[in-house]
Chains A and B, each alone.
Chain A
């Protein structure tokens, strides 16, 4: 039985269909999600951050998280270097050359704060099978609920910012991630990191106000005096005055991956701070859901397929005279037919 030309043409046609893949990409995508109406968030200004890690300590205390000893096991103080099952918020540093000057790309250094960015279209919420990740429809805060989580860790794989972490060394571990101190907010307080930040590098507020504030900073001249708010935008804490840095003229997080509610300002390129920049302006959740919704809308396609299968299978069984006598053929007469 040699393969003939017709077979090959059939296969080739299938291949051409796949080549059209690029065009269908957009068609398969579901639309973007809007910013929630009363979205709360944070503005982290890397140029204001002095790396004091008061926010890291405050986070541990507010959320009752254990200290972490990285490197020297003897260390008696908390030394997290990355987010983990014990650490919801961490300060990292970018360094280059002799690190002579802060906020400079070459021979300089800069700080960056890592925690959940409370995405507008969060992958973690989209991938979780049991609704253990939720996004508040009003404030947009993304919360994890351990009481129903099965620990599949799809959220860990799916988060584009590597935020959710699992407790691997516990018999009954759970997922840990920044919940934006929702328990403090319920009492009328602000997230612990913003509360203790001495410079206003971590600033709490409504996302719309925060992005206006960010724009004001970008509009100013580098070196100009500027009054920086501390704690909460619009709050009544004493501000402090400092020089505006030589910012990268862009706000990270307004567009990337469908937008996030924690915005970043920096004087070194965002990718140096470990923020993914080579990414689309839509969330990957929009593509994944788009494909699934196209295939499984109202379960119509599977239902139609099933009806077709029922019909064909039944007919084929009947044809061979074995209707109702199936799975592994009892008649030896079924050999040699086609």
Chain B
């Protein structure tokens, strides 16, 4: 018997319809991309060749998807079994974050029909961090689906298969911890090759570590974010006690992140740029204030047991990690040669909105129809 159950209820609610329509609009626009090229839909140009489809859909999307990874770290590595009810919802966030991130990658690839070369060993170029990211993300997406399989098997009553899978599941859990550790840091290290084109406020050899730790933080933040939203939207009880404990862990990791971030800036003598008064500097402070707000909120023990405060802290953290990625790859990136500008076009943004909407739609279907959430 499972400790999880489908939420049930009507599927075609108003929010569901709104998100479904948004998703359809996004995909309708995509047709133009395939018929007329990337330029027909996006504002990408010869200076900024990576736009929001890379930075938001892939980098931020998969960081949101780190929920499964972050909770797995707690439950399976630190053996904090009490967090177990959070595993399945977190895995679900990971499942969608990564699946849709992978989809966005294919959409953005200029020569997507040749994607098979990525997986032909004789073409592999092992110095490429992109190659490692591509392999890791693909493998992890598969692992996430396998880790989530018990949910399907339970739903369809396939006990036998479920038990067989259980015997080897620990392998997938372990691999599922290894892979994000590798590629979430590599998503940051990819920036190193861009060299002087990225402002020293973000360009550092430690960016891999910073991307990894901030992704873990975003993964933790997704849990209360999703949990509290679900409790409001689906009228479910909040896992209050658990989320309170989780917030303490968030606090410790966050303090560690900020110490590394600023120690590195000071060691490289780059902090002065934060007072240059330009857009880079402003965005640097926006980013770091968004990191500091949850730190100040969570330092008070009282707040750590208030779902409302935790919710605010979680949103601030999610924004902070997102702005960090946008800063590193877009705001702080000044392409060689100069004179280029980029701001996403409306259709480009609608595609991103569409992809996130598809995520929400899929989430609603899954939690309503499959045993994902812990029995109330």
Q: Which residues of A contact B (CB under 8 A)?
A: 1-3, 7-8, 11-12, 14-16, 18-22, 24-25, 28, 82-85, 123, 125-132, 146-154, 156-162, 165-175, 257, 274, 276, 278-279, 284-285, 287-289, 291-292, 296, 302, 305-306, 309-310, 312-314, 316-317, 319-320, 323-332, 334-338
Within 8 A of A (CB), among B44-92: 44-47, 49-50, 75-77, 79-82, 84-85, 87-88, 91
Tell me which residues across on chain B come within 8 A of A168, comparing CB atoms.
Answer: 37-39, 42, 44-45
| B204 at the A interface (CB under 8 A) | yes
Closest chain-B Cβ to A55's Cβ sits at a distance in Å of: 19
Tell me which residues across on chain A come within 8 A of B260, comparing CB atoms.
Answer: 14-15, 18
Inter-chain CA distance A152–B195, complex, in Å, is 18
| B166 at the A interface (CB under 8 A) | yes
Inter-chain CA distance A30–B263, complex, in Å, is 24
**Contacts A19-B267, A309-B177; A170 near B37 (Cβ below 8 A):** yes
Within 8 A of A (CB), among B301-357: 301, 304, 333, 335-338
Inter-chain CA distance A156–B36, complex, in Å, is 21
**Contacts A160-B336, A292-B129; A169 near B110 (Cβ below 8 A):** no
Contact B44 A131 (CB under 8 A): no
Contact B3 A331 (CB under 8 A): yes
Contact A25 B111 (CB under 8 A): no
Contact B37 A169 (CB under 8 A): yes
Inter-chain CA distance A162–B76, complex, in Å, is 46
Inter-chain CA distance A309–B179, complex, in Å, is 11
Contact B130 A3 (CB under 8 A): no
Inter-chain CA distance A337–B80, complex, in Å, is 7
Contact B150 A327 (CB under 8 A): yes
30 A–B contacts, CB within 8 A, in A order: A3-B251, A7-B252, A11-B256, A19-B263, A21-B204, A21-B267, A24-B205, A125-B125, A129-B128, A149-B117, A150-B109, A150-B114, A150-B115, A154-B193, A165-B46, A166-B38, A168-B37, A169-B40, A173-B38, A284-B195, A305-B181, A313-B76, A317-B173, A325-B163, A326-B166, A327-B87, A327-B147, A327-B151, A328-B372, A338-B81
Contact B134 A15 (CB under 8 A): no
Most-contacted residue by chain A among B175, B194, B262, B335 (CB, 10 A)? B194
Contact B169 A83 (CB under 8 A): no
Inter-chain CA distance A135–B76, complex, in Å, is 46
| Closest B residue to A159 using CB positions | B336
Main secondary structure of the interface of B (DSSP, over half): helix
Inter-chain CA distance A148–B131, complex, in Å, is 14
Contact B336 A276 (CB under 8 A): yes
| B101 at the A interface (CB under 8 A) | no
Inter-chain CA distance A274–B248, complex, in Å, is 51
What 13 new A-B contacts, CB under 8 Å, besides A171-B36, A320-B81, A331-B3? A3-B252, A83-B46, A85-B46, A129-B125, A130-B124, A152-B130, A157-B333, A162-B335, A170-B37, A312-B77, A319-B79, A326-B166, A338-B80
| Closest A residue to B2 using CB positions | A330
Within 8 A of A (CB), among B200-227: 204-206, 208-209
**Contacts A305-B178, A309-B177, A328-B151; A278 near B196 (Cβ below 8 A):** yes
**Contacts A165-B46, A292-B189, A310-B170; A153 near B82 (Cβ below 8 A):** no
Find B256's partner among A14, A274, A309 (CB 8 Å cutoff). A14
Contact B193 A169 (CB under 8 A): no
Contact B84 A334 (CB under 8 A): yes
Inter-chain CA distance A156–B34, complex, in Å, is 21
Contact A148 B123 (CB under 8 A): yes
Find A296's partner among B44, B132, B166 (CB 8 Å cutoff). B132
Contact A3 B131 (CB under 8 A): no
Tell me which residues across on chain B come within 8 A of A285, comparing CB atoms.
Answer: 127, 193
Contact A131 B123 (CB under 8 A): yes
**Contacts A313-B174, A334-B84; A151 near B111 (Cβ below 8 A):** yes
Tell me which residues across on chain A come within 8 A of B175, comparing CB atoms.
Answer: 306, 309
Contact B268 A325 (CB under 8 A): no
